[in-house]
């Protein structure tokens, strides 16, 4: 069995969300946190969570990305209990039994997103259409070098990559930074 687990590839989540999820937390979509919310009254960080956040179940913070990870039955049960307790404490669920049923549904939905190989990255995009929250999920997979022609230069190429070519005949470009600073000081 697999579930989404939060991942932080850079520190941006700590800037764009009110509360960022810690890396490695089990996660659910979190769209339910925006039901019955005045969407026009959301601040910029809450709007970011609405548009592109997964809800981490440890901190109840937000993560832009999750990774597909194997989960043990005990970890899954703990995730259900954590979410159920949060539904009672913060969302007005009448009791743990009702909250547990809702949490089971959320966890089952999250598990359905993980029908991919382990370590596949998941991203979500949400928007409000006709008063309904619509979610779209994307996956990012590691490139297989065989699919990319198998050469070492292009198999995992980035958008920009610098490659030295030793026999270029172009003149070297030199900049005199001290000279430029002296000219600036005189003006």
The whole model's pTM is what?
Answer: 0.75
Q: Write down the pLDDT at residue 176.
A: 63
Average pLDDT of adjacent 10-residue blocks, the chain of 187 residues: 95 95 97 86 93 96 97 97 96 94 97 95 92 91 60 52 53 58 54
Q: Write down the pLDDT at residue 138.
A: 94
Q: Write down the pLDDT at residue 130.
A: 85
Q: Write down the pLDDT at residue 160.
A: 47
Q: Write down the pLDDT at residue 106.
A: 97
Three-state SS for the chain is: CEEEEEECCCCHHHHHCCCECCCCCEEECCHHHHCCCCHHHCCHHHHHHHHHCEEECCCCCEECEEEEEECCHHHHHHHHHHHHHHHHHHHCCCCHHHHHHHHHHHHHHHHHCCCCCCCCEEEEEEEEECCEEEEEEEEECCCCCCCCCCCCCCCCCCCCCCCCCCCCCCCCCCCCHHHHHHHHHHC
């Amino acid at each position: 069995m697999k579930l989404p687990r939060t991942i932080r590839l850079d520190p941006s989540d700590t800037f764009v969300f009110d509360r960022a999820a810690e890396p490695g937390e089990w996660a659910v979509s979190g769209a339910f946190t925006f039901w019955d919310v005045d969407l026009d009254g959301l601040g910029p960080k809450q709007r970011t969570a609405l548009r592109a956040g997964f809800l981490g179940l440890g901190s109840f913070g937000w993560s832009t990305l999750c990774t597909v990870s194997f989960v043990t039955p005990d970890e899954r049960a703990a995730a259900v209990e954590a979410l159920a307790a949060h539904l009672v404490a913060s969302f007005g669920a009448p009791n743990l039994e009702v909250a547990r049923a809702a949490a089971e549904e959320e966890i089952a939905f999250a598990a359905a997103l993980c029908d991919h190989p382990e370590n596949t990255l998941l991203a979500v995009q949400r928007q409000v259409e006709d008063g309904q929250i619509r979610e779209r999920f994307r996956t990012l997979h590691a490139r297989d070098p065989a699919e990319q022609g198998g050469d070492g230069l292009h198999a995992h190429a980035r958008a920009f990559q610098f490659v030295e070519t030793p026999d270029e005949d172009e003149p070297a470009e030199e900049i005199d930074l001290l000279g430029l600073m002296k000219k600036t000081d005189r003006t």
